[in-house]
């Protein structure tokens, strides 16, 4: 993105970004497929919803923004999101009540962080 490592390191992450970094590290370390899928589904589904809602108004000449929006919208990406949702639904059938609660907690944490992310972006 044309930014040196030194410049990048000088830019602090928003609290919600740090929260996502921590959440993703935690679910990766857990090795629990249900928890990993819960976070991925929230992220990708919300990106799809947002991407599709702004695709028509996104200026193609704004390469970085347009490419991100284009990537997270359309039929192909919709199939990716549906695949992840189906995997999560299938995984649920293998979980006991305690495991389901952990997956639910990760899902709800990701939703709260996504909401904070968009609030942070729109307030900037």
The answer as to whether 5 is a domain residue is no
The answer as to whether 68 is a domain residue is yes
The answer as to whether 45 is a domain residue is yes
CB 27 within 8 A of CB 35: yes
The domain that contains 101 carries what CATH number?
A: 1.20.910.10
Q: pTM (2 decimals)?
A: 0.86
Q: What DSSP state is assigned to residue 10?
A: T
The answer as to whether 85 is a domain residue is yes
3-state secondary structure 24-89: HHHHHHHCCHHHHHHHHHHHHHHHHHHHHHHHHHCCCCCHHHHHHHHHCCHHHHHHHHHHHHHHHH
Which residue in this structure is represented by tokens 């990537």?
A: 71
The answer as to whether 105 is a domain residue is yes
The answer as to whether 67 is a domain residue is yes
The answer as to whether 22 is a domain residue is no
State the DSSP H helix or E strand holding residue 110, giving kind and residue range, or none if neither: helix 97-123
Range of the domain at 74: 33-123
pLDDT tens, per residue, the chain with 124 residues: 688 999 988 988 999 999 999 999 999 999 999 999 999 999 999 999 999 998 888 888 888 888 989 999 999 999 999 999 999 999 999 999 999 999 999 999 999 999 999 899 889 7
Predicted confidence at residue 58, as pLDDT, reads 86
Q: How many domains does the chain have?
A: 1
The answer as to whether 16 is a domain residue is no
């Amino acid at each position: 993105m044309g930014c040196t490592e030194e410049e990048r390191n000088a830019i602090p992450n928003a609290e919600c970004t740090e929260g996502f970094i921590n959440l993703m590290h935690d679910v990766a370390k857990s090795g629990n497929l249900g928890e990993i899928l819960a976070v991925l589904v929230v992220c990708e589904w919300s990106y799809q919803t947002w991407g599709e809602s702004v695709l028509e108004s996104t200026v193609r000449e704004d390469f970085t923004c347009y490419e991100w929006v284009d990537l997270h919208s359309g039929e192909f990406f919709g199939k990716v999101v549906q695949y992840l949702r189906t995997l999560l639904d299938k995984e649920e059938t293998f979980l006991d009540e305690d495991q389901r609660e952990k997956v639910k907690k990760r899902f709800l944490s990701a939703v709260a962080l996504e909401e904070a992310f968009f609030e942070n972006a729109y307030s900037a």
